[in-house]
A and B are shown apart, each in its own frame.
Chain A
Amino acid sequence: MTNKRIPGSEAVILSLIEEGVDIIFGYPGGAMIPIYDSLYDYSDKIKHILTRHEQGLVHAADGYARVTGKPGVCFATSGPGATNLVTGIANAMLDSIPMVCFTGQVGSSLLGTDAFQESDLIGITMPITKWSYQVTKPEEIPEAVAKAFYIAKTGRPGPVLLDITKDAQIAMLDWKYEKCTKIRSYVPELPVDITHVKEAVQIIDEAKKPLLLLGQGVIIGSAENELKEFIEKTGIPAAWTLLGLSALPTEHPLNVGMLGMHGNYGPNLLTNEADVIIAVGMRFDDRVTGKVSTYAKKAKIIHLEIDPAEINKIVKADVAILGNSKKSLQLLTERVKENSHDAWIKEFKKCDDIEFEKVIEKDIHPTKPGLTMGEIVRMASEKTNHEAILVSDVGQHQMINARYFKFKHSRSHVSSGGLGTMGFGLPASMGAQMGQPDRTVFSVSGDGGFQMTIQELGTIEQNKLPIKIIILNNNFLGMVRQWQQLFFEKRYSFTKLHNPDFIMIAKGYGIEGNKVSKREDLDAAMQKMIDHDGPYVLEVTIEKEDNVFPMIPAGASVSDVMLEA
């Protein structure tokens, strides 16, 4: 590398190229103009997606990261541009999504003066970033960017923020880039301690009713095969968390379904019957555990986790195996004995039958006239042979998506799990489609969340992203309405929506669309959308007051899972 003199702004772009970045989600503004000016010279090497709002770009970067495993890269200007990223950064933090955000900042001489479009982004984002750094000198840029990428994607991933003052973008430096390979104060992952593996093996070999809980750590650690090998050798049933979805094929015989508040009946009920729980890359979120004091009391807990701070945070581990799940699972599989648990798995099947009769049958083969979310989502899945990527927004439909969409490939389910961010779905689907341009991407939203980031239809049209957008419209904020119905005496306080003509709006953006209200029209409309070359909006009017079941009421035990109201 020759030591050529370049401005800081160009160093930002060259650093991104060094890190293998080929796509940026961004929105320019005053404090970012120098960087955007340099980007102009490299637009053959890096694609830039201009969204319609900064919240759109940060969720798009998130969706991109989830389907590719590569860090999502965001550009936003100082002040309001940067503060508009905050929700998306918090979302990425709670879901451990690798992301590198670049924000412009006022000139360093103006810092702290309440200058035009100055906001203390480092201060604001401290609790919601894995790491952040303010760059005030151009020569800091290469090292800061190298560190940012290293931190974002190693260990337990997360969002990182670099705030770059305008003068640091303009001033010159001697260009030289070195990738970051270690930071002395940071241990991304610990080597797996074999004594803990051996302890776990003994417990697993003696288990009569073992249950494996798989979380996103399996996907992040690319441990899908290792997981499959482990459960196939031991015959242990595996249940997934919301973010663990798609780590295993839905139809795998040992996949017993989803955990949590609206998960499947069997894995929730039988958590409290299990004698051993093997938790892999999951963090015992309160939506998974319900009431912790009554959670899995009969079970010894084996926790495979990369982040030491997660051990004993919620549920005390009898054996904790720290490190990368890929390695831990390998070491376990080598040592455990071949086994099967047919009688135990039959208990899950029994629960499945009960759930099918009480809930699933009505959801996917309804006899009442109103369309259900379940039948629509299942149809989308079937018509694409379960090969598609599903991007959810947040609410009732998110749970229905998770329950009824089927997966064959990992990294095919994109959903805001930890933060539960309404408005996430549509922009995240843009990133998912750009990360996987050859796959079908469904964006399934409710009428509430869709309107939170509806403006991104503009981005979708401008970039000709062939996303299949489904709006499940019940003219309600459905999940809140469900709680109001079940726990607040049907006092529907401000959950009713008067909605616009979504198809007319789509057409205004130059996107084709269709609205369906009758069951007999659904199949043809769905097929038309899937066959359509380009983006398409399908609005489906659904039953207004349908509820999502099963349900573990807030604060109740997992074994109190309800199948009906």
Chain B
Amino acid sequence: MKQEYIITVYSENHIGLLSRITIIFTRRKVNIESLTVSESAIKGIFKFTIVIAETRDQVMKMVGQIDKQIDVLKAFYHTNDEMIYQEIALYKVRTESLYDSDTVEKMVRKAGARILEITREFVIIEKTGHKDETQALFEELNQFKVMQFIRSGRVALTRDPIERLSEFLKERDIFLDSQNK
């Protein structure tokens, strides 16, 4: 059965690695629903968060192929339930639509969104949440014609109390040194 999985990849910061990872999906004709890459808590190590909808078997195989890339430190996969995740969305609406009634203001309050910037012409609203939530706000605001809309890729954390990356790096180092003896 296909379902959404979050693949997390820790890697060295090497040019071309993004491409090496994405071709693992394209080769199998698997669509990437969302992709976020940024530096992790440890300088020089980058974290990829990739969302795909696939079967567990296929996900396991692809994660195996990602893990095998030389510059990848470690790759994991989780179901949505196993992680806490968010996306961020920005909406641009006409400032006039706030003057005419308090509907927009109510929508923003109800959705737990916030207003980032107000100019004479437009207002930028920001909302973080799951895709269905940011999408719901879009549908509501669109009564007033959303002028522009953007949603980010997903960021996600496991429910582990600590990020184990630095321990992992230490263990890896000790392991590799022991292999060389």
Contacts and interface: CB of A to CB of B under 8 A. Distances in A.
Interface in A125-142: 126-127, 130-132, 134
A126 B21 CA distance: 10
Contacts of A2: none
Given A308-B64, A309-B61, A126 B16 contact: yes
B16 A185 contact: no
A312 B16 contact: no
B177 A309 contact: no
A307 B68 contact: yes
A134 B16 CA distance: 10
Contacts of B15: 134
A185 B20 contact: no
A190 B71 CA distance: 17
Nearest to B176: A182
Interface stretch (B122-130, B141-149, B167-175): B167-175
Interface string A304-319: 0001110111000000
Contacts of A313: 61, 64
A132 to B, nearest CB: 7
A112 interface: no
A123 B17 CA distance: 11
Interface residues of B, number: 26
Given A126-B19, A131-B70, A184 B64 contact: no
A253 interface: no
Contacts of B72: 185
Contacts of A307: 68
B19 A184 contact: no
B167 to A, nearest CB: 14
A185 B73 contact: yes
Nearest to A123: B19
B180 interface: yes
B12 interface: yes
A542 B35 CA distance: 58
Main SS at interface, chain B: helix
Given A122-B16, A123-B19, A126-B23, A183 B67 contact: no
A182 B65 CA distance: 20
Kindly state the interface size class of chain A when it binds its partner.
Answer: 20 to 34
A122 B176 CA distance: 28
Interface in A171-194: 181-189, 191
Given A183-B70, A184-B176, A187-B175, A127 B16 contact: no
Interface string B147-181: 00000000000000000000001001101110110
A27 B163 CA distance: 50
A307 B65 CA distance: 10
B179 A309 contact: no
A126 B71 CA distance: 13
Given A309-B65, A312-B60, A187 B176 contact: yes
Contacts of B8: none
B68 A184 contact: no
Interface in B50-72: 60-61, 64-65, 67-68, 70-72
B19 to A, nearest CB: 6
B70 A130 contact: yes
Contacts of A151: 70
Contacts of A123: 16, 19
B49 interface: no
A286 to B, nearest CB: 15
Contacts of A132: 16
By CB atoms of chain A within 10 A, which of B67, B68, B73 has the most? B68
Given A126-B20, A126-B23, A309-B64, A185 B71 contact: yes
Contacts of A181: 180
A188 B67 CA distance: 12
Interface string A225-252: 0000000000000000000000000000
A185 B67 CA distance: 9
A311 B175 CA distance: 22
Contacts of B23: 126-127
Interface in B70-85: 70-73
B12 A185 contact: yes
B181 to A, nearest CB: 11
Nearest to B61: A313
Contacts of A184: 73, 169, 172-173, 176
A131 B71 CA distance: 9
When A and B form their complex, which 5 residue pairs have the shortest distance between CB atoms, in order from nearest? A309-B64, A182-B176, A131-B70, A185-B73, A309-B68
Given A130-B70, A185-B12, 17 more contacts: A126-B16, A126-B19, A127-B23, A131-B71, A134-B16, A181-B180, A182-B180, A184-B73, A184-B169, A185-B11, A186-B70, A187-B175, A187-B176, A189-B179, A309-B64, A309-B65, A313-B61
Interface of B: 11-12, 15-16, 19-20, 23, 27, 60-61, 64-65, 67-68, 70-73, 169, 172-173, 175-177, 179-180
9 contacts: A126-B16, A126-B19, A131-B71, A182-B179, A184-B173, A189-B179, A308-B67, A309-B65, A309-B68
